[in-house]
Amino acid sequence: MTREEINQAILYLNQKFIPFPTFDSAIKAIYRNLELYRQTGIAEFIFIGGESGAGKSSLCEWMEHQLPKVVLPERDIKPCLVVEIPSDATI
């Protein structure tokens, strides 16, 4: 394999998504929460926290991809709004 082929393979793999059990459980919990909101109006927000490298950003990016912005003539609807808080922030 040439260096260019290796670089292309790495680029290809970096664009792939392989869910793992904990990630899959988090996705299911988010969808349950979303369904609860749609049925009752309860549970409008979700807080995602965890150790560095746990997959929080990947989870948010995946949800944003699954729930994209809808552009209408009169307004835009963004069903998934991600707000990142720096790790050194105090709440």
pLDDT at 41: 85
- pLDDT, tens digit, for every residue of 75-84? 999 888 888 8
DSSP character string of the chain: --HHHHHHHHHHHHT-----HHHHHHHHHHHHHHHHHHHHS---------STTSSHHHHHHHHHHHS--EE-SS-EE-S-------TT---
Look up the pTM and report it. 0.66
When pLDDT is averaged across residues 49-55 and rounded to a whole number, the result is: 85
Better pLDDT: 72 or 45 = 72
Percent of the chain with pLDDT over 90: 18
pLDDT band at 40 (very low <50, low <70, confident <90, very high): very high
